[in-house]
Amino acid sequence: MAFNGAVTLNNGAVWNETITGAAATFTLSNNFTNNATTFTTQATAHTFSGASMTIGGSTATSIPTVTITGAHTNSGTLTVSTLLTVTGVTLTNNGTITATTALSGTGTLTQGNTGILNIGGTSGITTLTASAVGNSVNYSGAAQTVHPGTYDDLPFQGAWQRHSLPERQR
């Protein structure tokens, strides 16, 4: 299913992909605002394309697999349980992103001042920029390798290991 215009789910709306029949892929090429009362997705591919778009809203957006192929800004809560891939573009996070299993891709994830990034598994993304004052990156998995770079706030949870962090980042 392709959505070329802005998608706004208002309070009281129900988004239920499980009733679409066969497993479908979803492409959203514009702004996505989730204020829905109920938001249920299939475990299929969800691609956010387009340039200078926003993912936001007051309702948490939980999608198993997300690929970002167009520059986007997250201002809401985005939880990706299987794989979050940023391909060749920049995803700016001014809200909360949780990559439960994997964060990958040839693109850049840039933390804004209010961004919270939770990484529960591997982080193979090419560039992670987390130096903005006020943002936080949380590694919460077992034996994770920390992405090299400068962090403003880098708390650790659970069993972890750190590799090659300069003294300033510890």
Ranges 15-24, 113-122, 133-142, 160-169: which has the least confidence: 160-169
CA 100 – CA 52 distance, rounded (Å): 25
- pLDDT tops 50 at residue 167: no
Indicate whether 169 belongs to any domain.
no
Q: Is pTM beyond 0.85 here?
A: yes
The answer on pLDDT for 109 being more than 50 is: yes
Cα 137 to its chain centre, rounded Å, is: 12
Which structural domain range is residue 139 located in? 2-156
Q: How many domains does the chain have?
A: 1
pLDDT at 164 (0 to 100): 43
Asked if residue 105 belongs to a domain, the reply is yes
Residue 162 lies in a domain: no
pLDDT tens digit string along 74-92? 999 999 999 999 999 999 9
